[in-house]
């Protein structure tokens, strides 16, 4: 494996009495592309939010580039977060801003870019996700899939080193979904970004990831390549990959 | 079973103390965020406009009637105790400048602006927009809280200046039309008792109210939980708490500022 970029050690997180993450340990190398799969409600989104400290663990540590992120303060915390780009599951667009303003906000507020440069970057990113015609629309005027793509354009706008995608293709038609998959692959290969994608879509996972991690009951049930997961005999993995209602995983 | 009311009271007490602590922490964050005023000028002007300028019509309507009713009430009481009506301008002027304009404007402002801030930030919280800001390395305290609280702090006193003026005009109209004293008499009475310190103290109170409304609106908004229902709860809570705090602080500051 490449040099380790993100290291999660013995992570625990509960919300009141609901234990979500229960001793999870995971290392992610620089430049890797990982897909995280798992049943709805197993804590995939919660895990992503921990990486940029939108949530804090009850126990355990997360290291980013060798530093314990719990110890980062002020400017250092901001600097760490700016090295990430995150696509939220709900897209989380700012509803008082236009599509273009949403995509450009991070650049604008960082104070490191000129207005004319921001316009060019925004236009470029919107083209990448196939939305250059919607720059002046407001989020409320977009469809769910369009919002997702704006969220994606916003996540990649500042050229982050690590991209966190929370269900990038959910709610998209198969053709658009494939365009987004290609985009994720090309970001990963051309720009050498590290990518961590949460997905339910096995076709997407196989396409975008060189490593697949499955969460089950707050821990990692499987960690391996797409080839390995296809031939895995682990009943939990088999049930998920083949998508059957019956088996060791019970829907509660 | 019979312990339930006691437990509820206990929980309420704890909630209240948590909230008070949270609001004090927010004061600290507000002061820290003030250093970022230079690069937040656009955001501050947006809020000054949305919070202040757009509240002006409502404040004016309220002020007209506050002045009118206080003139009528004063005249009624003068009749009762047999005081001469030429003191009407004095009574209305003092009541408006010291008490009525700051407190009533603030209460209306809490209902319009405080509730609006709590609802807007609450919606942003439950739809993960605040998380998204943080994820982009933008501090929500600077980007969202500071411009709103600052706008409240500036705008409530400014609106009270308008409110004073309009309320006196409202009182004057009622005095002339309804009580039948001349506008010269009314204004002379007003002028003879007008003191700059009263006026300034009224504005100090207004500033405190503005700060409290902004801070509570932001605090409730940021701490919203759940969905649409949570936003509703935050909105209501912000108005209730702001209103109660306005009346309590009004008493405290009146005692501190207006020595007997
Ligand atoms: N802010 C929160 N407060 C309380 N509970 C939460 C919060 N966020 C998540 N949870 C709980 O944590 C658990 C995991 O949620 P999470 O959103 O991570 O699931 P997920 O794996 O992303 O599911 P999905 O595939 O449906 O998106 C759920 O039981 C959820 O109720
Ligand atoms: Mg999720």
Tokens of B16: 């209240």
Q: What is the rounded CA–CA span in Å between residue A93 and residue A138?
A: 9
Listed in sequence order, the DSSP H helices in B82-195 are 88-94, 101-109, 115-126, 129-135, 140, 146-174, 183-193
Q: Which CATH architecture has domain A34-42+77-242?
A: 3-Layer(aba) Sandwich (3.40)
- The band of A240, judged by pLDDT with boundaries at 50, 70 and 90, is confident
Task: Give, for A197, the enclosing helix (H) or strand (E).
Answer: strand A194-198
Q: Is the pLDDT of residue B8 over 80?
A: no
Average pLDDT for B212-238 = 95
Ligand nearest to the CA of A39: 1
Answer for the pair B217, B242: CB distance below 8 angstroms, yes or no. yes
Predicted local confidence at residue B2, as pLDDT: 56
Q: Say if residue A242's pLDDT is above 70.
A: yes
Which of A147, A155, A144, A115 lies closest to A131 in space, CA to CA?
A147
Which H or E run contains B45? helix B41-47
| Structural domain span for residue B97 | 4-257
Interface test with B, best of A54, A74, A118, A144 (most B CBs within 10 A): A54
Widest distance between CA atoms in chain A:
56
Is there an atom of ligand 1 within 6 Å of A45 CB? yes
Average pLDDT, chain B: 92
Q: Tokens at residue B37, please? A: 């005023």
pLDDT tens digits, residue range A20-29?
999 999 999 9
**Torsion from C-alpha of A242, A245, A246, A250, nearest 10 degrees:** 110
Q: How far is the CA of A38 from the centre of ligand 2 (A)?
A: 10
Assigned token pair, A163: 């991209």
Lowest mean pLDDT among A7-16, A230-239, B109-118, B161-170: A230-239
Ligand nearest to the CA of A47: 1
- Give the whole-angstrom CA distance, residue A83 versus residue B141: 21
Q: Which of A250, A200, A215, A213 is nearest to A44 (CA)?
A: A215
Is the per-residue pLDDT at A233 higher than 90?
no
> What mean pLDDT do residues A172-187 have?
88
Look at chain B and report how many structural domains it folds into. Answer: 1
- Alpha helices of chain A — where are they, by DSSP H? 44-51, 74-82, 99-110, 115-128, 144-156, 174-190, 202-208, 226-231, 235-242
* Angstroms from B133 CA to nearest CA on chain A: 8
pLDDT digits (tens, 9 = 90+) for B196-213: 999 999 999 999 999 999
| Identity of the residue in A92, A106, A154 whose CB atom sits nearest the CB atom of B137 | A106
Statement: residue A14 has pLDDT above 80: yes
A41 lines ligand 1 (CB under 6 A): yes
How close is the nearest chain A Cα to the Cα of B32, in Å?
12
Q: Residue B1 pLDDT more than 60?
A: no
Average pLDDT over residues A191-211: 90
Beta-bridge partners for A7: A27, A63
The answer to whether residues A126 and A153 touch, using CB atoms and an 8 Å cutoff, is yes
Whole-prediction pTM value?
0.91
Q: Closest CB to A52: pick one of B128, B129, B135.
A: B135
Q: How many alpha carbons fall within 13 Å on the CB side of residue B123?
A: 9
pLDDT band at B3 (very low <50, low <70, confident <90, very high): low
How far does the CA of residue A87 sit from the closest CA of chain B (Å)? 9
Atom of ligand 1 nearest to the CA of A55: 1
Chain A's closest residue to B133, CA to CA, is: A106
Of B124, B127, B136, the CB nearest to A106: B136
Query: Nearest to residue B28, comparing CAs of B122, B156, B114, B149?
Result: B149
């Amino acid at each position: 494996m490449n040099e380790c970029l993100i290291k999660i050690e013995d992570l625990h997180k509960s919300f009141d009495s609901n234990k979500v993450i229960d001793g999870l340990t995971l290392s992610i190398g620089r430049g890797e592309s990982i897909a995280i799969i798992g049943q709805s409600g197993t804590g995939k989104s919660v895990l992503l939010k921990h990486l940029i400290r939108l949530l804090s663990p009850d126990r355990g540590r997360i290291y980013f580039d060798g530093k314990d992120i719990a110890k980062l303060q002020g400017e250092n915390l901001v600097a760490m977060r700016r090295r990430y780009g995150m696509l939220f599951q709900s897209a989380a667009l700012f509803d008082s801003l236009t599509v273009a303003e949403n995509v450009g906000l991070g650049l604008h507020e960082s104070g490191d870019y000129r207005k004319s440069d921001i316009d060019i970057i925004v236009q470029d990113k919107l083209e990448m996700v196939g939305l250059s015609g919607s720059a002046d629309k407001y989020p409320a005027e977009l469809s769910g899939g369009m919002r997702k793509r704006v969220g994606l354009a916003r996540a990649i706008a500042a050229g982050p080193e690590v991209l966190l995608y929370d269900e990038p293709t959910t709610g998209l038609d198969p053709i658009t979904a494939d365009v987004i998959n290609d985009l994720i692959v090309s970001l990963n290969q051309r720009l050498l970004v590290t990518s961590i994608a949460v997905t339910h879509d096995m076709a997407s996972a196989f396409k975008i990831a060189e490593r697949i991690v499955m969460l089950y009951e707050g821990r990692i049930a499987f960690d391996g390549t797409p080839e390995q997961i296809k031939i895995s005999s682990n009943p939990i993995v088999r049930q998920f990959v083949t998508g059957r209602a019956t088996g060791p995983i019970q829907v509660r | 079973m019979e312990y339930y009311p006691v437990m509820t009271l206990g929980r309420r007490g704890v909630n209240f103390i948590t909230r008070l602590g949270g609001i004090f922490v927010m004061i600290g964050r507000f002061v820290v965020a003030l250093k970022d005023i230079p690069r937040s000028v656009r955001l501050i002007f947006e809020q000054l406009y949305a919070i202040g300028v757009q509240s002006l019509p409502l404040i004016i309507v309220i002020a007209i009637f506050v002045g009118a009713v206080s003139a009528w009430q004063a005249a009624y009481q003068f009749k009762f105790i047999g005081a001469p009506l030429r003191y009407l301008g004095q009574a209305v002027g003092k009541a408006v400048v010291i008490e009525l304009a700051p407190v009533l404007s603030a209460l209306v402002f809490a209902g319009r602006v405080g509730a609006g801030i709590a609802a807007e930030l609450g919606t942003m919280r439950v739809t993960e927009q605040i998380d998204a800001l943080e994820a982009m390395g933008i501090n929500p305290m600077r980007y969202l809280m500071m411009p709103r609280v600052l706008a409240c702090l500036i705008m409530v006193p400014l609106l009270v200046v308008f409110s004073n003026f309009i309320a006196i005009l409202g009182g004057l109209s009622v005095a002339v039309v309804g009580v039948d004293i001349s506008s010269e008499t009314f204004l002379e009475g007003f002028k003879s008792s007008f003191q700059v310190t009263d006026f300034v103290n009224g504005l100090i109170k207004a500033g405190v109210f503005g700060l409290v409304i902004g801070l509570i609106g932001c605090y409730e908004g940021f701490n919203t939980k759940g969905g649409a229902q949570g936003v509703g709860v935050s909105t209501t809570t912000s108005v209730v708490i702001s209103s109660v705090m306005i009346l309590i602080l009004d008493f405290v500051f009146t005692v501190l500022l207006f020595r007997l």
